[in-house]
Chain A
Amino acid sequence: MLLEVEGLCVNYGHIEAIRDISFGVEEGTVTTLIGANGAGKTTTLKTLSGLRKVRAGKVIFEGKDITHLPAHERVKMGLSQSPEGRGIFPGMTVRENLFMGAYTRRDKPEMAVDFDRVMGLFPRLEERIDQVAGTMSGGEQQMLAMGRALMARPRVVLLDEPSMGLAPKLIAQIFSIITEINEQGTTVLLVEQNAAQALKRAHTAHVLETGEIVRSGTGAELAGDDSVKAAYLGGDI
C-alpha cells in the first residue's frame, strides 16, 4: 500500500466529521471515495494533506507515519492535492500557479519535464499560460488546479471533486484526463459526487456515509451494487 488510513477520526469542534475510517490506496491505481454532500469526503482529503488535526487513528504514507506531519512536509514526500473549489491563486498567472505546484522542488530541468507533461494533458492551459488565473472559466481553473498538483511530481495525487460545477462535456473530458494521469504512472485518490463517472474510472472504491465507510469494492462491483445504484447512481448511468 502506498497510502494507508487506519481508524481515522476527525472532529470539527464537538461534531465528528469522520469516524473510524480505514482504507488503503494501492500504488498505480485510481481509488475513489464517493458519497453525498457532508459525508466527510473533503475532510478526509484535507486530513490526508495535513490541513486538519487528527483526533485518533493513523495516516501512513510509504510505510512512514505522517499523521502529525505539517502540510508542507507532506508535499515534499510526494503527496499533493487539487482541493475542493480549486483553490487557485487568482492574482497569479497560469504559469505562476503551475510553478507554485513545484514550490518545494529545486530540480529545474525535471520541473520543465513536468511542465511539458501538464501542457500535454491540458492544451487549454498552454493557450492561457500568461493569463491571470482569476479571470479564467471554472473548467479552466479546474484544469489549472489539477495541473498544479501534478507539478509537485507526486507519488499520489488527491483530487477533490474535479467535476464540481462543470458542464457535462467538460466533465467527461476531466475524467478521461484523470485516467490518462493514472496511466502515466501517478496514483490517484479521487473524491467525487459524480459516482457514475468515478466508479467507471476507479480500480477500488469506497462509499462514505455520515463520516463512515459503509461499502467497499472494485469500481465495477460498486457500480453493480443495488444499494449504491439506488443511493448514488439514480438508476441511469
Chain B
Amino acid sequence: MDLGALFGSFDNFLSFTIGGLVFGAIYALIALGYTMVYGVLQLINFAHSEVFMYGTFAVAWTFIFLHGTESASWSLGKALPILLVALVAAMVMSAAIALLIERFAYRPLIKKGAPKLIALISAIGASFALAEAMGLRDRFAGWVGLKDDLADYVAPDKARDVFSNPVTIEPHKLFELGGYGVTDVDLVIIAAALLMMVGLDQLIRRTRLGRGIRATAQDPESAALMGVNSTRVVQLTFLIGGLMAGAAATLYMMKIGSTRQNAGFILGVKAFTAAVMGGIGNLRGALLGGLVLGVMENWGAAVFGSEWRDVVAFVLLVLILLVRPSGILGESLGKARA
C-alpha cells in the first residue's frame, strides 16, 4: 500500500497519526473507568460517560471563576496555573459523580443480588438523569440564589447549547517530526495520559490496595475471606475511574475548549469501544485500545473523509472482535499479573 498516495504525503500521515494519538490518549483515560468497574463487578457502567462530561464542565467553571467570562486566547504556559486548578476540580467533580453513581445506582441493587441486566438499566437511567440535570443547571443555580451571577454565561435558553471555556489555549509548535509540527498541547496530552496510566498500572500491581482490587476481581468470596472489604474495593474502583475521567476531561478541554450536556455520549461510546477492543477488564488493554482506536479512526477520516471517522472506528471494533473475541490483550484485570 502506498501510504503517500493515500494520505497525500507522508507528512500528512504523521500528522494524522499524532492527532489520533492525542484523542486515543483521552479515550484510554476514560476507558479505564469502564474496564476497572467491569473487572471488579462484571458490569458495564453506562453512566461513566456522564462522569467525564461533568469533569469537562468543572474545567470551564474553574476558568470562569478564576478568570471571568471574558474571552481570551492564552498560551499553554500562561494558562497552566488555572489549568492545574481545573485538573484538580475536574478530578474531584468526576470522582464525586462516580461515587454517587456507585452509591445510588449500583450498591442498593448489588446488595439485593439483582441480576446484572437490572444494574445495566439502572446505569442507563443514571446516565440520562445526570445529562439532563446538567442541561437544567441554570435552574439549580437559581434555586440556590446564583441566578444573577450565572445568567451571564448560562442563559436559560442556552443551557443545552455548546458551553465554551472562555479561555482558548493556543497550541505552540515545539518541534518538527517528519514535517509535522508537534505542539505543546499535543505533547502534554499524550504525556499526561501515559503518565497516569503507568501510575495506575503500578498502583494496581504493587500496592496493598491494588492487591485487594485484583483479589476481588479474581474471586470476590475468597477476597472477603482474606479480609478485603468488598464494598470499599468497589467504591475505590469507581473513585479511580472517576479521577481518570476527570483528568481526561481536562485534557479534552485543553484540546477542544468546549462541551455540552450530552458531550459524554460519543466520547463514552468511543472509550467503551476502546476498552472492549483492548480486552475489557484489562488496564493495559484500555491504553492500547484507546490509542489504536484514536489512530485508526483518524487515518480513516484522512482516507475516506472525516464524515467516515465513526464508521471506521466501529467497523474496526467488529473486525478486531471477530478475530479476537476477548479483545487485543484479552486477559482480565483479575488475571493481570504483577
Seen from chain A, the residues whose Cβ lies within 8 Å of a Cβ on chain B are: 49-51, 70-72, 75-76, 80-81, 83, 87-93, 96, 99-101, 103-104, 132, 134, 148-149, 152
Contact = CB atoms under 8 A, between A and B. Distances in A.
Given A96-B211, A100-B215, A103-B212, A87 B338 contact: no
A90 B338 contact: no
Contact of A89 (B219, B224, B229, B331): B219
B335 interface: yes
B214 A101 contact: no
B221 to A, nearest CB: 6
Given A96-B211, A99-B211, 10 more contacts: A72-B230, A83-B221, A87-B225, A89-B214, A91-B332, A92-B218, A100-B211, A101-B226, A149-B225, A152-B227
Interface in B208-260: 208, 211-212, 214-215, 218-219, 221-230
Contact of B226 (A50, A90, A100, A134): A100
Given A90-B218, A91-B337, A93-B338, A50 B227 contact: no
A103 B227 contact: yes
A87 B225 CA distance: 10
Interface in B304-338: 331-332, 334-338
A89 B227 contact: no
Which of A71, A76, A148 has the largest count of B CB atoms less than 10 A from its CB?
Answer: A71
A72 B227 contact: yes
Contacts of B214: 89, 91-92
Contacts of A93: 337-338
Q: Is the interface of A mostly helix, strand, loop or mixed?
A: mixed
27 contacts: A50-B224, A71-B225, A71-B227, A72-B224, A72-B228, A72-B229, A75-B226, A76-B227, A83-B222, A83-B225, A87-B222, A88-B219, A89-B219, A89-B223, A90-B218, A90-B335, A91-B331, A91-B337, A92-B211, A92-B214, A100-B211, A100-B215, A100-B226, A103-B208, A103-B227, A104-B227, A132-B337
A15 B195 CA distance: 53
B338 A103 contact: no
B202 to A, nearest CB: 15
Interface in B5-44: none
Contact of A51 (B208, B224, B331, B334): B224
A70 B227 CA distance: 9
Contacts of A149: 225
Interface size class, chain B: 20 to 34
Given A90-B335, A96-B211, A100-B211, A75 B225 contact: yes
Nearest to B334: A91
B225 to A, nearest CB: 5
B218 A89 contact: yes
A87 B219 contact: yes
Nearest to B232: A72
Contacts of A80: 225
B273 to A, nearest CB: 25
Interface of B: 208, 211-212, 214-215, 218-219, 221-230, 331-332, 334-338
A92 B219 CA distance: 11
Contacts of B219: 87-90
A230 B219 CA distance: 38
B95 to A, nearest CB: 23
A72 B223 CA distance: 9
Which of A76, A83, A92 has the largest count of B CB atoms less than 10 A from its CB?
Answer: A92
Contacts of B224: 49-51, 71-72
A126 B212 CA distance: 23
| A-B complex: 5 closest residue pairs judged by Cβ atoms | A75-B227, A91-B335, A104-B227, A87-B222, A71-B224
Contacts of A70: 229
Contacts of B215: 89, 92, 100, 103
A135 to B, nearest CB: 11
B105 to A, nearest CB: 22
A149 B222 CA distance: 10
Which of B215, B218, B227, B331 has the largest count of A CB atoms less than 10 A from its CB?
Answer: B227
B222 A103 contact: no
B269 to A, nearest CB: 29
A132 B224 CA distance: 21
Contacts of B335: 90-91, 134
A46 to B, nearest CB: 8
A89 B222 contact: yes
Nearest to A132: B337
A205 to B, nearest CB: 24
Contacts of B226: 72, 75, 100-101, 103-104, 148, 152
B219 to A, nearest CB: 6
B302 to A, nearest CB: 40
Contacts of A89: 214-215, 218-219, 222-223, 334
A72 B222 CA distance: 10
A45 to B, nearest CB: 10
